[in-house]
Amino acid sequence: MGKQTLERILQSQGFGTRKWCATLVANGEVRIGGEIINDPRRTFETGDLEFSVYDEPWLYREHVYIALHKPTDYECSRQPSHHPGVLSLLPEQFALRDVQPVGRLDHDTTGLLLMSDDGKFIHAQSSPKRHIPKVYVATTQEAVTPQLVGQLLKGVKLHDEPAPLAAVVCEKLGEHQLKIVLEQGKYHQVKRMLAAAGNHCTALCRTRIGELNLDDLELAAGEWCYLDEAARALLKPAA
């Protein structure tokens, strides 16, 4: 990572333009090791650098990797149109450093959503070639039958797909609830597959990506956390 001037460090962490970050420092709003730093051109090693802005502690991160428990009625878009965007659930610094959702969940779908400003990470997690399994719990309008489960495992034809799409795993959880595991990540895939199989989805929650479980993160709806290297290692393709 190396040394950088404090104004550039703050800019990279989403605190505004370099000029604004220099003003923050000159006004005595930034502390490192408890010391007020007034010189925006002073350099610091960025590795494991801890600092505070307006007395709020921060740790320098070259990139951020975030897990969000997405609530209903939030859009996975930087420019939402009908509902608040998921970025409004995060500190404003993340929007300024171009954090964005990894893929999308519909506004009425809840559950595990990854977010990052690391383009390589976003591409790798979004690539259908990696076959990363995603687990959903779907609530259905009509009762879940063995025939429905069989259809979803065998594959259903969607009008804009050249070949049938099948669930990797499909299990009945209750009279109107099932677990479905997918690897493709097509547009509205769970809802469209259920409709093609003669049922309808009334609620949908993504509970796992790879081996990363939402329950293990202990996040209430609307809460988020950083993902460390060990947690990111769980975001892997099926064995």
Distance (Å, rounded) from C-alpha 136 to C-alpha 150? 17
85 touches 71 (CB < 8 A):
no
Domain-by-domain residue ranges, the chain? Answer: 3-59, 65-128+215-232, 133-209
pLDDT digit string, tens, across residues 82-109: 889 999 999 999 999 999 999 889 899 9
* Span of 60-69, 128-137, 170-179 with lowest mean pLDDT: 128-137
* Domain 65-128+215-232, second-level architecture: 2-Layer Sandwich (3.30)
* Domain 3-59, second-level architecture: Roll (3.10)
Distance (Å, rounded) from C-alpha 109 to C-alpha 131? 21
Query: Per-residue pLDDT averaged across 134-138, rounded?
Result: 97
Asked, colleague to colleague, whether 3-59 and 133-209 share their fold, the answer is no
Was domain 133-209 assigned CATH 2.60.120.10? Answer: no
Average pLDDT, the chain: 93
pLDDT at 136 over 70: yes
In this predicted structure, what is the pLDDT of residue 238?
67
Q: What is the 3-state secondary structure (H, E, C) of 187-220?
A: CCHHHHHHHHCCCCEEEEEEEEECCEEHHHHCCC
Indicate the burial class of 163 (C-beta count within 10 angstroms; 0-12, 13-18, 19 or more). Answer: exposed
pLDDT digit string, tens, across residues 216-239: 999 999 999 999 999 999 998 766
* 98 is annotated as an active-site residue: no
In this predicted structure, what is the pLDDT of residue 185?
77
Catalytic residue selected from 106, 108, 216, 228: 106
Tokens of 36: 């007020």
